DNA sequence: GCCAACGTTGGC
DNA sequence: GCCAACGTTGGC
């Protein structure tokens, strides 16, 4: 079982949106970056736990957690000409982009902000601090526990 | 809105 | 395969 961090802009799709899904889960699609794609396709597994990170907002940071309910599969949006995420270079035989399904697990009592993370020596190796733009990032078990402790409770 | 960092594209 | 130009992300 592995840990990940997924980035989202809450104006587009927030942790609360995930919590409100009638089905209790959502497709995490629209990832159009090769490094992130490779993680979704090859590494993220059902049962993995994820931190949900809100960017381009106030406060920027980790808002809560979710769980992977379906491992990587070809992102249907790449085949849909109506979609913003359509990619003419992709085909059913050779999909270019992948997505996963996740379900809401928890909202933190308060957001663990980027400033919090940057000021915490135990988190100095978090990918977030070195490669801020990567939208799917690995998180170590130690980092996972530490972020939870900073969130003020929970596991 | 600005700007730095970084990813992608395309000419050669 | 290199590298310049360009586009995008994302913090502030």
User: Residue ranges per domain, chain A?
Assistant: 3-150
| Residue A33: CB less than 7 A from any atom in strand B | yes
- The answer to whether residues A128 and A44 touch, using CB atoms and an 8 Å cutoff, is no
Rounded-to-integer distance, Cα A55 and Cα A60, Å = 5
Which nucleotide is nearest, taking the CA of residue A33 and each C1'?
B7
Instruction: Dump pLDDT digits (tens) for A59-99.
Output: 999 999 999 999 999 999 999 988 989 998 899 999 999 99
Whole-number distance in Å between A79 CA and C11 C1': 33
| Residue A130: CB less than 7 A from any atom in strand C | no
| Residue A111: CB less than 7 A from any atom in strand C | no
Order across the sheet with A61-74: list the strands. Answer: A25-28, A98-113, A61-74, A49-54, A3-8, A136-139
A153: pLDDT confidence band, cut at 50, 70 and 90? low
| Residue A130: CB less than 7 A from any atom in strand B | yes
- Rounded (10°) CA dihedral A136, A129, A126, A60: -70
> What rounded mean pLDDT belongs to chain A?
94
| Residue A90: CB less than 7 A from any atom in strand B | no
Q: Which CATH superfamily is domain A3-150 in?
A: ph1033 like domains (3.10.590.10)
Instruction: Give the three-state DSSP class for A31.
Output: coil
Instruction: Dump pLDDT digits (tens) for A29-59.
Output: 999 999 999 999 999 999 999 999 999 999 9
Give the DSSP per-residue string, A45-104: -TT-EEEEEE-SSSS-EEEEEEEEEEEEEE-GGGG-TTSTT--TT--SSS---EEEEEEE
| Residue A115: CB less than 7 A from any atom in strand C | yes
Closest CA to A70 of A133, A15, A23: A23
Instruction: Dump pLDDT digits (tens) for A98-123.
Output: 999 999 999 999 999 999 999 999 99
Q: What is the pLDDT of residue A155?
A: 44
């Amino acid at each position: 079982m592995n840990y990940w961090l997924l980035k989202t802009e809450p104006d587009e799709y927030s942790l609360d949106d995930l919590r409100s899904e009638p089905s209790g889960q959502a497709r995490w699609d629209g990832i159009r970056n090769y490094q992130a794609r490779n993680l979704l396709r090859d590494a993220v597994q059902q049962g993995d736990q994820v931190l949900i990170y809100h960017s381009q907002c106030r406060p920027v940071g980790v808002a809560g957690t979710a769980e992977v309910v379906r491992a990587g599969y070809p992102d249907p949006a790449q085949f849909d000409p109506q979609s913003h995420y359509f990619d003419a270079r992709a085909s059913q035989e050779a999909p270019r982009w992948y997505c996963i399904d996740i379900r809401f697990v928890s909202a933190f009592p308060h957001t663990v902000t980027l400033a919090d993370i940057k000021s915490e020596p135990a988190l100095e190796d978090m990918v977030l601090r070195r490669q801020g733009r990567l939208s799917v990032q690995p998180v170590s078990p130690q980092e996972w526990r530490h972020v939870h402790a900073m969130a003020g409770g929970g596991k």
